[in-house]
Amino acid sequence: MSFCFLSVTHRATSVHHCVSGHLTSDQDSNLVLARANILQIYSLSTSHPLEEDPSSGVDGKSHRLDLLHEWELCGNIESLSLVQFPRESCDSLVVSFADAKVSVLKYNRSSASLDICSMHCYEQADLREGRERVSFPPLVRIDSQQRCAAVLVYDHNIAIIPFADTNSLDEMEQDSKLSILNTLSSFTFSLSAINVSNVRDFCFLTGYFEPTLVVLHESPITTWAGRLPAVKDTCSATVVSLQMSKHTRTILWTADKLPHNCFLSLPVPDPLGGILVLSPNSALYLNQNYRFAFLFNDFGDVNSVFIARDQSKDPIVADAAKALFVTKDTLLISLRGGELYVLHLIHDGRSVTGMTLVKAGTTAIASCMCLLPIPKYMFIGSYHGDSLLLSYSENASVDIGLRPPAPKRSKVVKGESPSFLDEIDDLQLYSNSEPQVATTGPFPTSGYKFSVVDQLPCLSPIRDLAVGESYDIYSTSIAEGNPRKFLEMVACSGHGRNGSLFILQNGIRPDVVSSSTDLLGCVSMWSLHGWKESDSHEHHSGLKEHATLVVSKADATLIFASGEQIQEISDRVEFFTTGATILASNILSDKLIVQVYQSGIKLINTTTLKQIHKLSPPPGGTITFACCEDPYVGILLSNGSFYLYVVTESSRLQQLPNQLVDSSIRAINLFSTCTCTTPTQPPTFHEPDPLEAELYGTGGVKPEEKPNKEPVVARTYYCVIGRQSGSLEVVTVPDFQRVLFTPDFALGPYLLNSTTTRPSSLAAPTNSSDSSTTTSASTSTSTSTSTSTSTSTSTSNLPSPSTTPLYPVEVSVIHLSPHKVAYPHLVSILSNGDILFYRGFISSSPSQNFPLGFHRISHTTLPRDTHPASTHDSATAPHYPRIAFLPIVGNGNCALFISGSRPLWGFCDRGFLRTYPMLHDGKIQCLTSFHNENCHNGFIYYTSKSALKFCQLPAYMQYQGDWPTKKIPLRCTPHKITFHTESKMYILAVSYSVLVHFGVTPPPTPYGLEKQATTPDRPPPLPMFVEHHELRLISPATWEQMDRFSLIEREVVITLRVVNLRVQLPGTADPVIKPYVIVGTAITIHEDAACRGRVMVFDIQKKSNPGESPKAVLNEIYSKEHKGPVSAVAQLEGFLIVSVNPKVIVFSFQDGKELVPKAFYDLLYIVSINTVKNWVLLGDAYKGIHFLRWKEQGNQLTLLAKDFIPMSVSSTDFVIDQLNLGLVVSDEERNIYVFNYAPQSVESRGGQMLIEKANLHLGTRVSKFVRLPLLASADPSSGKPTSSRHGVFFSTIDGGIMSLRPVDERLYKVLQALQVKMSTEVQTVAGLHPLAWRHLKVKDPQRRSQKNIADGTMVRNFLMLPYNDQVSLSARIGTTPEAIYNAVLDIETSLNFF
């Protein structure tokens, strides 16, 4: 087995970097996030008064984050900054990548894409100087006056990228030979030339005439905590002035003898200036003439060179803290536990004279922070939980009394706890209570109040992953009579208070309220609102209930009344019921109903369901399609004529004079847009999830006053038309004036706007026509990287794209947002079954009549209908729409649904379309929204199996990521999880912090070592916590805790697994296989006591108390201590194989009571054990992988082969391709490998060495592999597992999910050839090379890149290209786009477990 296919099923969710500014427009407030290799641009949107719900009681504006754009880059983002160039009103992005690459990007409003302004590479050998490891990635810092950028290169060099000023731009304009560039020639200098080594941080200072850089570094003679008595205060700060024109630098001043653990430097804003240096125990203010130290705790002892010192009353530790200035003299510090502190700088205008420390509350653990352009708003990005958008306000001043400095540690009275402990368990942000202030002077200070405004979900870090059976209502109903089990992923995520379980499902699984199979032959359906003067039909949420259901068959129409029961009333109403209905919709503000059928149009009173007006279509044909946008109704005749009607206030249908007579028209749709006279932004305030309220608090922003003058809303109507030629146009209604035309729409171009021209082949419009792009290196050379550099490809000599031309058979423009001024989405179904998605945006050069443009958006599903209906076989056959719009579904979301053999949902929770399949129920004929007292905000759909189902979306599901997720807050750290199949329960290992109380003699340790009692006279200077571990039994039906088992003190769970052991139970003649829960632990006391461990065996039993139903409990059967940590366990043909480091021991479970050793094997430190039959794969953290075989006869554990090159293994598993066995390994350097055991090969050294067949760089570390048998059938609704092929799903610490499965050699070679072509002819974001991104990255030169793993991301990018480019690329490698699509579809279907 040598060839595999890698798919990214769920992209990274952890936030590593964030910046804010005006990127998309000078009027927009943007937030830019870096999630590993994902770049996202958000808009901080303010709701308009017209969008507010009067019944909510909220008056004024609210804010939330809306996702505007998302790009997947070919490299992890190492640093992120914003810069504003001269003569430009918007900011540009400066992004750095490993090893030493920098790209300057500018947002192009005309194409809604990122242009490359310049590219810089500093990966020369002379700059690396032979180093294999570096401490820091290429960090980027921007000068406060936007004059240049500094890049840290390989720890020992600084690269300076000068930015053009106004004078430079004037010179370029005068010299016509020069291209106008915003970045000039860069230069580098070595830090060793200024006696700088071991860089910790660097930044630009403010208030200097020339760019001035300060470098925080440590002397060559380093130290650590254990060596402080000999060497201490080894850090320094060196300030360097840069002469940009001469490419030189000058040292201005140096501050020596700083604490050895300084890690962060921050420039103090003007007018104070200077630098603030943070260490875990102190905050240091430095300028050229003055030094001030503020001690966080008693360990913050600083050198006497500091002129003044101050100490916090309540000690903290600022290790790994994040900080930023919220005002010119106020610093916000986020500690590693999520605590927020405000540090005030007391100054006299020239230097700092004092500092005060105020605790503001507790929030998410910050990985990055930034202030937003809107005042009093900030963002906290997190790697260990949800990221938060906060608003803050300053409280009234508080007078602080004088406290004399305490050189000694303060004493604590026995039985009392320091005041800072009172808020340790506080889970919500500080709100109304008075702030706790630590200061030494009588200075008035201010506290801050923070409120949660919005939050972005995050799955990282995923520590463990389990796959279990799904017990939601939908899966249970579908599973009846179906041999296939429906699975779901459960991930352990977060840390501490942010710890939680995430349930992941690849698709929508609605809760079925009721179902029926009595209805036959349904082709389409519509739900209609009732209307009364009173509010009797309104639900408590303000939504109208649906009163009527119209069901269309091929030869009849059925009318049903909605209430407590659905009753047919076809014989009591005046609907057209003797034939099929083409359209039924509410109109005129729900007062009327319009029904369109082949021979006419009816207007029906909503209340009485009686006919008011009736019209016949114009002569020449019958009606084949209809659309409606209140108050307009459009019909398409069989002869190609398009007629438009308007419903007047007198309840009459009036035909408008304008019409289109064109036999080439194949699709029509009416839509409208709203414009306001006051500036508006689409989204409104996002209510936190009820499950999140307990974790973060509900938060909220104080509403502002409404404007006195009500804004005027103007609604403009349009019609979008698709033609047989593949073109698409937008015309105004009712005068039919063309405002947008795209001749090659069916090919899927990237951009649609009023100035659309045919795009050059294989070049997405990522660069504007008036922008130049250069590549700059340290040698000051530049080359063009604009889209013209892509190889132009002509398709004139290639085969025709398709035997039948592509054209849109259905098109719809939908507002997938509840906001009146939201940007619309354009969705179109093509004749080959493909579905195109476009998002509207305000073009930089809009036409007078149509300000919008549309850019194509990618999606994570393959929506092509495998059996597209022949909608135009007959010119007179009616066309029923597949695209359904649901204005309210679930928890107030808008959604779209596309019916067919591969049904698809689309949600726009944050203004960005996310698509999810719903494949488990087979082909869905039609769907419509439905809301009544028994089915709140639900929907009805009809399947190909004649099943009519009334459903609701599952509660508390989030639709903001690649997969729908459900979050279960734990308020503790989850470590391990496994699923017990027999009892259908999850076993979870968690830990939580416990405060150590001093002055109390602790109980004896498990080894009889007595601890000494801590004297109450000398408490520690900091609060001390220990992690207490326990096991929990969780029911997947309710996700409630059924039982718990606490471990002993200082015992840590390392491994947790359910294994099937062979055991001889009492009363049985033959041994049986029974599942048991195995727990491996480690117990660490201190460095003088050896680490020990325990193996524990649990069984899950039913226990019942009198008068109560049986309850599952954990029953400990066996427990034994070992002389080493138990790091991994697995089952081995009824035996138990355990890693008791440094040995691997095989046990038998004798009589179900005791583990008896049978065999062993020595290694160093094993982190992973996997077995298939009698084959054993061991992964060692130092010695790589070993492949062994177990022989029960003779109890032998024999080494077959191993990898001779050292590797730091993180996880292992198997992939199976029929008779071939592949060994999958991931390492700490973020690579993945596939090895084969081939003793007959010459490369195996006589069968002793495992052969490395494939490898690839993932860019993230793998935390867990899960192996599953692939699905054999291409029909996801009836697919059955097969044992001939097994693939693996694996989680990453960045919150992503990936999969790896074997493929045939022929398919791999086709996909590999496709990747090579795409890497040279398709431009990527930021100019990164996709093949270089996936190339193996290791420090050991003995290991070589083997390829043989196809990158699914590049293949998906191919499917998002315009169709003519797909044909061009596929023809060059001897295949077709359809063949590649079908291959990828088979791969995706085989992995569709969830």
DSSP string, 1200-1251: EEE--S---EEEEEEEEETTEEEEEEEETTSEEEEEE--TTSGGGTTTTB-E
Distance of CA 69 to the CA centre of its chain: 13
Residue 1300 has pLDDT above 90, yes or no: yes
Place of tokens 């992995």: 1391
Q: Where does 646-714 have alpha helices with state H? A: 690-696
Please state the rounded mean pLDDT for residues 209-222. 93
DSSP of 350-377 = SSEEEEEEEEEEE-PPEEEEEE-SSTTE
Confidence of residue 707 (pLDDT cuts 50, 70, 90): very low
Tokens of 674: 């709203």
Distance of CA 823 to the CA centre of its chain: 23
- Residue 920 DSSP SS3: coil
CA distances from residue 212 to 85, 251, 268, 290, 560 in whole angstroms, order as listed: 19, 9, 13, 18, 76
Give the burial class of 1109: count Cβ atoms within 10 A of its Cβ; 0-12 exposed, 13-18 middle, 19 or more buried.
Answer: exposed
DSSP of 933-996 = TTEEEEEEEEETTS-EEEEEPPTTEE-SSSS-EEEEE-SSEEEEEEEETTTTEEEEEEEEEEEP
With contact defined as beta carbons under 8 Å apart, do 643 and 896 qualify?
no
DSSP of 793-845 = ---TTSPPS-SS---EEEEEEE--SSSTTPPPEEEEEETTS-EEEEEEEE-SS
Please state the rounded mean pLDDT for residues 1354-1370. 92
Tell me which DSSP letter residue 51 carries.
G
Segments of 219-365 assigned E as strands: 235-243, 248-258, 264-267, 275-279, 282-286, 291-295, 308-311, 322-327, 330-334, 339-347, 352-362
501: left (phi over 0), alpha (psi -120 to 50) or beta: beta
Q: Of 804, 525, 858, 524, which Cα lies nearest the Cα of 666? A: 804
Least confident of 655-664, 880-889, 981-990: 655-664
> What confidence score (pLDDT) does residue 486 get?
80
Place of tokens 């760089």: 1257
CB burial of 76-105 (b: ≥16 within 10 Å; e: otherwise) equals: bbbbbbbbbbeeeebbbbbbbbbbbbbbbb
Please state the rounded mean pLDDT for residues 761-782. 36
Confidence of residue 702 (pLDDT cuts 50, 70, 90): very low
pLDDT tens track for 179-211: 556 778 889 999 999 999 999 999 999 989 999
Q: What is the pTM of this model?
A: 0.88
With contact defined as beta carbons under 8 Å apart, do 1348 and 1220 qualify?
no
At 799, phi and psi to the nearest 5?
A: -65, 160
Place of tokens 């302004």: 117
Residue 797 has pLDDT above 60, yes or no: no
> What confidence score (pLDDT) does residue 794 get?
35
1163: left (phi over 0), alpha (psi -120 to 50) or beta: beta
Confidence of residue 1066 (pLDDT cuts 50, 70, 90): confident
Calpha distance 734→634 (Å, rounded): 11
Confidence of residue 110 (pLDDT cuts 50, 70, 90): confident
**Helices and strands (DSSP H and E) totals, the chain:** 9, 90
Q: Of 661, 581, 587, which Cα lies nearest the Cα of 623? A: 581
Tell me which DSSP letter residue 414 carries.
T
Residue 1298 has pLDDT above 70, yes or no: yes
Q: What is the largest CA-CA distance in the chain?
A: 102
Calpha distance 597→583 (Å, rounded): 7
pLDDT tens track for 1242-1251: 888 888 999 9
Distance of CA 847 to the CA centre of its chain: 36
What is the 3-class SS of 708-766, one letter each residue? CCCCCEEEEEEEEEEECCCCEEEEEECCCCEEEEECCHHHCCCEECCCCCCCCCCCCCC
Please state whether the peptide bond connecting residue 271 to the residue before it is cis, i.e. omega within 30 degrees of 0: yes
> What confidence score (pLDDT) does residue 1146 get?
95
DSSP of 116-155 = EEEEEE---HHHHTT-S--SS---EEE-TTSSEEEEEETT
Least confident of 207-216, 836-845, 877-886: 836-845
pLDDT tens track for 481-491: 555 678 899 99
Least confident of 174-178, 527-531, 1034-1038: 174-178
Tokens of 622: 């019958």
Confidence of residue 1065 (pLDDT cuts 50, 70, 90): confident
Least confident of 185-199, 422-436, 491-505: 422-436
Please state the rounded mean pLDDT for residues 971-997. 92
Strand partners, 812: 827
Q: Which residue has the higher pLDDT, 909 or 863?
A: 909
Calpha distance 1029→1082 (Å, rounded): 11
At 51, phi and psi to the nearest 5?
A: -90, -5
Confidence of residue 538 (pLDDT cuts 50, 70, 90): very low
pLDDT tens track for 850-908: 788 899 998 878 878 765 554 445 567 888 999 999 988 888 788 999 999 899 999 98
Residue 539 has pLDDT above 60, yes or no: no
Q: Of 996, 999, 994, which Cα lies nearest the Cα of 412? A: 999
Residue 1214 has pLDDT above 90, yes or no: yes
Calpha distance 868→853 (Å, rounded): 29
With contact defined as beta carbons under 8 Å apart, do 1195 and 1176 qualify?
no
Residue 362 has pLDDT above 70, yes or no: yes
pLDDT tens track for 1227-1262: 999 999 999 999 998 888 888 999 999 999 999 999
Confidence of residue 680 (pLDDT cuts 50, 70, 90): very low
Least confident of 101-105, 212-216, 1086-1090, 1220-1224: 1086-1090
Confidence of residue 1141 (pLDDT cuts 50, 70, 90): confident
Q: Of 924, 686, 715, 666, which Cα lies nearest the Cα of 824? A: 715
Confidence of residue 420 (pLDDT cuts 50, 70, 90): very low
Residue 809 has pLDDT above 70, yes or no: yes
> What confidence score (pLDDT) does residue 1021 get?
66
> What confidence score (pLDDT) does residue 1297 get?
95
Give the burial class of 1328: count Cβ atoms within 10 A of its Cβ; 0-12 exposed, 13-18 middle, 19 or more buried.
Answer: middle
Please state the rounded mean pLDDT for residues 973-984. 94
Please state the rounded mean pLDDT for residues 546-573. 89
- Residue 1155 DSSP SS3: strand
Q: Which residue has the higher pLDDT, 305 or 1285?
A: 1285
Q: Strands of 199-204's sheet, edge to edge?
A: 199-204, 212-218, 235-243, 248-258
Calpha distance 1287→1272 (Å, rounded): 12
> What confidence score (pLDDT) does residue 998 get?
53
> What confidence score (pLDDT) does residue 663 get?
78
Please state whether the peptide bond connecting residue 1142 to the residue before it is cis, i.e. omega within 30 degrees of 0: yes
Confidence of residue 532 (pLDDT cuts 50, 70, 90): low
pLDDT tens track for 1033-1057: 999 988 999 999 999 989 999 999 9
pLDDT tens track for 60-85: 457 889 999 999 999 999 999 999 98
| Helical axes 1377-1390 vs 1305-1321, angle rounded to 10° | 120
Least confident of 97-106, 451-460, 655-664: 655-664
Tell me which DSSP letter residue 1328 carries.
-
The DSSP bridge pattern shows strands 632-637 and 187-190 to be unpaired
> What confidence score (pLDDT) does residue 79 get?
95
Calpha distance 1020→1014 (Å, rounded): 9
At 548, phi and psi to the nearest 5?
A: -135, 140
**Element (H or E) spanning 1273, and its range?**
none
Residue 1321 has pLDDT above 60, yes or no: yes
Q: Which residue has the higher pLDDT, 448 or 387?
A: 387
User: What is the amino acid identity at position 551?
Assistant: V
Least confident of 383-387, 441-445, 696-700: 696-700
At 1027, phi and psi to the nearest 5?
A: -90, 125
Tokens of 488: 């779901």
Tokens of 59: 């008056």
Cα angle: 633, vertex 639, 643; to 5 degrees: 20
Q: Which residue has the higher pLDDT, 731 or 47?
A: 731
Q: Which residues contact 834 (CB under 8 A, 6 or more apart)?
A: 748, 806, 863, 864, 1363
Average pLDDT, the chain: 82
588: left (phi over 0), alpha (psi -120 to 50) or beta: left
> What confidence score (pLDDT) does residue 996 get?
77
Total length of the chain = 1394
Please state the rounded mean pLDDT for residues 589-612. 91
Please state the rounded mean pLDDT for residues 975-982. 94
Calpha distance 907→820 (Å, rounded): 17
Confidence of residue 1201 (pLDDT cuts 50, 70, 90): very high
Calpha distance 815→400 (Å, rounded): 55
At 125, phi and psi to the nearest 5?
A: -65, -35
Residue 738 has pLDDT above 80, yes or no: yes
> What confidence score (pLDDT) does residue 37 get?
94
DSSP of 838-867 = EEEEE-SS--SS--EEEEE---SS----SS
pLDDT tens track for 295-333: 998 887 766 667 667 787 788 999 999 999 999 999 999
> What confidence score (pLDDT) does residue 932 get?
87
Calpha distance 99→78 (Å, rounded): 9
> What confidence score (pLDDT) does residue 325 get?
94
> What confidence score (pLDDT) does residue 411 get?
34
> What confidence score (pLDDT) does residue 236 get?
94
Please state the rounded mean pLDDT for residues 939-955. 90
